[in-house]
Structure 1
Amino acid sequence: MSFDTISVIGLGYIGLPTAAAFASRKKKVVGVDVNQHAVDTINRGAIHIVEPDLDKVVKAAVDGGFLQAVTKPLAAD
């Protein structure tokens, strides 16, 4: 089974590391969160939570085009 796009709902302490892990494996990930500040922060390649080394993974995923944060769900597999 193959997935082109993965959607992760909620980008807090569970969702953001999960989304970043998939994105680090070169999977396109759309992360959804109602918090506009969190979405804007992630889309800049930064993080809004405290988690060791997660900032580097998120930055690489965003810069590589594998992670995008939105406030409303998009189509995914």
Structure 2
Amino acid sequence: MDTLEAHKAELVEELANCDQGAPVLLHPNLAAVYKDQVANLSNALGDESTKTEASSIIRSLLTEIRLIPEGGKLAIEVTVR
């Protein structure tokens, strides 16, 4: 316990002394860009000429898919790269 408390004290001091820097700002149009990208993906998955490539790209982004029982149903947890 003493080791953990000492480590916590070190971390608190490190946080107090770290350079805060500028905050990370999101582009004001990010939601619209995301919406367009999802629409493009949906169209690519629906088009037989691009479906295979779009599916492959999605698979390459995923590292893990878990099905977790919750209240008699399965919840899906997706881990991306």
The alignment's TM-score, normalised by the length of structure 2, stands at: 0.22
Greater helix proportion: 2
Flag the structure with larger Rg: 2
Higher relative contact order structure (alpha carbons within 8 Å, sequence separation ≥ 6): 1
